[in-house]
Amino acid sequence: MKAIGIVVEYNPFHNGHVYHIEQARKSTSADVVIAVMSGNFLQRGEPAFVDKWARTTMALQGGADLVLELPYVYATAHAPVFAKGAIELLDAIGCDAFCFGSEDGDIKPFEQSISVLQNAGDKYEQIVKEAVQSGLSYPKALNEAYLYAVQLSGQSLPVADLTKPNNILGFHYMQAAREINSTMAAATIPRIIAGYHDDADDEQTIASATGIRKSFFDFDTLDSVRNFFPQGTFNTLTAWRDDKGSFGNWDSFYPLLRFTILREGPKRLAEIADIAEGIENLMFRAAKNNNTFEGFMSEVKSKRYTWTRIQRMLTHIYTGFTYEHRNEIGSASYLRLLGMTEKGQLYLNKNKKKLKLPLISKAAAFSDPSLQMDIHSADMYALGIAHNTNPPIVGGDFKRTPIILP
């Protein structure tokens, strides 16, 4: 059975994702599609719209055959670390190839880019470092060094445009695969949605997840975004709303975040992963002054830090993830199975012995600091969600077994 791996967040799963899965399967003639998916906190440093179990259900309904959890430590990290974790998992589960969305859907420019940077060597890292020290944001520093390396190489063939978010991730997937000497092939398919931050246009049936969420929060009804979902997603989201009454986002998590920032104080905040350079003082002051997340962010945001980078720090504050915690965690060390179709199950049965990492069906059966953080962050997420009908279940993630769909 040929397996293609994809890296996803599904926040939430929509028609564009159905298309993405279909294309990935077709373009690589794969039998099974394996998705590595973020847990309850996402790469942009946000709580997910709905939790990983609801998103797994939607993914399986929408065409994925296996869903693995990308551990918290990777899922909430910047692109190089995020990509490394995801690629390690796809490699360990035995994928023949991985496939990502890019602006142009052409893998060649990515290959040129990798080769250009390989030739630039240490010089590249050094430029990145200097650019960050000079006050540039990390993505901008990367791009600066990249442009320099391209120029230096005299490369005349097209290289990937690394100012586009999807291209950046794709590039890092390929670099990570190289680093671990993976035998996986790389493939890419073109994005079909115009811009990442575009609003959902209700005359279309495909919009970005960001646009869908924005439209949802603006109109406060799932009907306003119904066109963009497969029926399964719509049902899952409706059931979630009926049970909880609210969806995950920083606006509704802010009272707990604010309490935590003020309780901790700058000194203890400085122990939290990614907090540096005195931003803890700024955050403490902003939490004092602001009753809303929007107000808080507008006080903390500056040129020096991207919105995403600040949000990642806030995620770590919210979950209590310290530098010390992070230091205990090394490379990817387990495959946490969130769900599978019968075909996915067949794949696992056939490849059981080839897996490079232990497959975890029930978290309680395995002990690992990274897995503990996955479970802990799921509990923290549950406490942030309002609960209409049932109070938050804490410790549920620890006992839960994978979702199995036909």
Return residues touching its own copies (CB under 8 A): 255-256, 258-260, 262-265, 268, 287-289, 291, 318-320, 376, 379-380, 383, 391-392, 394-395
CB atoms within 10 A of CB 181: 7
Does the annotation list 191 as a binding residue? yes
State how beta strands 32-38 and 185-190 pair.
unpaired
Contact criterion met (CB below 8 Å) for 355 and 6? no
* Residue (146 or 296) nearer to its own copies, CB: 296
Does the annotation list 135 as a binding residue? no
Structure tokens of 340? 């599978």
Smallest CA-to-CA distance from 90 within 181, 189, 3, 2 is with 3
In the chain, count H helices and then E strands.
Answer: 18, 8
Q: In angstroms, give the least distance from the CB of 39 to its own copies.
A: 16
Q: In angstroms, give the least distance from the CB of 268 to its own copies.
A: 8
Q: In angstroms, give the least distance from the CB of 238 to its own copies.
A: 25
Q: In angstroms, give the least distance from the CB of 298 to its own copies.
A: 16
Does the annotation list 9 as a binding residue? yes
Q: What are the angstrom distances between the C-alpha of 283 and each of 78, 90, 264, 270? A: 20, 37, 11, 11
* Residue (15 or 260) nearer to its own copies, CB: 260
Amino acid (1-letter code) at residue 345? Q
Does the annotation list 351 as a binding residue? no
* Residue (99 or 313) nearer to its own copies, CB: 313
Helix residue ranges, H only, 51-164: 52-61, 72-75, 79-92, 108-120, 122-133, 138-153
Does the annotation list 255 as a binding residue? no
State how beta strands 66-70 and 335-341 pair.
antiparallel
Q: In angstroms, give the least distance from the CB of 329 to its own copies.
A: 15
Residue with structure tokens 């350079």?
A: 277
Q: What are the angstrom distances between the C-alpha of 2 and each of 30, 216, 268? A: 5, 38, 49
Q: In angstroms, give the least distance from the CB of 265 to its own copies.
A: 7
Residue 186's H or E segment, with its range, is strand 185-190
Angle at 75 between CA 70 and CA 76, to 5 degrees: 160
* Residue (116 or 286) nearer to its own copies, CB: 286
Q: In angstroms, give the least distance from the CB of 297 to its own copies.
A: 17
Does the annotation list 67 as a binding residue? no
* Residue (108 or 362) nearer to its own copies, CB: 362
Does the annotation list 278 as a binding residue? no
* Residue (29 or 292) nearer to its own copies, CB: 292
* Residue (217 or 259) nearer to its own copies, CB: 259
Does the annotation list 8 as a binding residue? yes
Contact criterion met (CB below 8 Å) for 371 and 336? yes
Does the annotation list 12 as a binding residue? yes
Helix residue ranges, H only, 93-137: 108-120, 122-133
* Annotated binding-site ranges: 7-20, 101, 166, 191-192
* Annotated binding-site ranges for ATP: 7-20, 101, 166, 191-192
